[in-house]
Amino acid sequence: MTPSQTELLQGTLDMLILKSLALGEMHGLGISRRIEQVTRGTFQVKPGSLFPALHRMEEEGWLSSSWGESENNRRAKYYQLTKKGRRQLENETQRWGRISLAIERALET
């Protein structure tokens, strides 16, 4: 496995999805591309992880979805953050900050 294809921890994937949707609604491929873009290709999300995650998060009430037109006039399912999702993103961000700081320190010493 190459570093560029690092398997995503579930929690991390959730966070990345939430983050990419923070700017506005997006369909599956868009989310996948956005994650790739912001992590500079470190994380490539495969549909086999993406769709289960999207549907589970919708179930948890973090996302909502609606059908719309894609750039090339195709019907596509768009996802957007809910209020609950936004709160979750904040929590996740904070938590991630703590953990990454802790791990960084742990590795430094």
Partner 1 sequence: MWLKNAMWNWRQKRRADAELDEEVRGYAEMLAEEKVKKGVERRQAQWEAKMELGSMEQVKEQTREARAGYFLETLWQDIRYGARMLRKNPGFTIVAVLTLALGIGANTAIFSVIESVLLRPLPYDHPESLTEIWNTYLPAIPLGGVSPGDFQDWQRETKETVSEMAAYAWVQQGANLTGDGDPQRVELNWATSNLFPMLGVKPAVGRLFVPDEDRPGSAPVVVLSRRFWQSRFASAPDVIGRVVTLDGLRYTVVGVLDEGTHLLDSPDMWMPMGQFQDNLTEHVHHEFVGIARLKPGVKVAQARAEFEALNRRSAIAYPTEHKNFKVLVRPMQDASAAEMRQSLLVLFGAVGLVLLIACANIVNLLLARNAVREKEMALRTALGANPARLMRQLLTESTLLALMGGGFGLLLAAAGIKLLGQTVPANLAAVQQARLNGPVLLFTIIACLGAGIVCGLLPALQARGANVNAVLKQGSKGAGAAASVKLHNLLVIAEIALALIPLIGAGLLLRSLHELLNVSPGFQPDHLLTMYIPQAALPSAQLSKLTPAQQRQLTQKQSLQFEQIVEQVGGLPGAKAAAGIDMLPLASQIKQASRFVIEGEPIPDAGVRPIAEFRTVTPGYFSAVGTPLLSGRSVGEQDWDGLNIDINEAMARRFWPQGNAIGKRINLCSFDPQPCWTTIVGIVGNVHQFGLDAPPTYDVYYSGGWTPYLLVRTASDPSRLALVATNVVHKIDPVLPVADVMTMDDLLSSTLSPRRFSAVLTGVFAVLALLLAAVGIYGVMSYMVGKRVNEIGIRMALGAQPRDVLCLVVAHGAKLALLGVVIGIAGALALTRLMTSLLFHVRPADPATFAGVAAVLAIVALTACYIPARRAMKVDPMVALRYE
CA geometry: angle 79, 67, 28, nearest 5 deg: 40
- Asked if residue 28 binds partner 1 (CB under 8 A), the reply is yes
- CB–CB of 79/62 below 8 Å? no
Structure tokens at 36: 């790739």
- Asked if residue 48 binds partner 1 (CB under 8 A), the reply is yes
Q: Judged by CB under 8 A, which stretch of 17-25, 34-42, 48-56 contacts partner 1?
A: 48-56
Closest CA to 14 of 98, 107, 102, 84: 84
Q: What is the distance between the alpha carbons of residues 80 and 22, in angstroms, rounded to a whole number?
A: 8
Q: Which of 5, 6, 11, 24 binds partner 1 (CB under 8 A)?
A: 11
- Asked if residue 29 binds partner 1 (CB under 8 A), the reply is yes
Taking the complex as a whole, the smallest distance from the CB of residue 103 to partner 1 amounts, in Å, to 12
Taking the complex as a whole, the smallest distance from the CB of residue 97 to partner 1 amounts, in Å, to 13
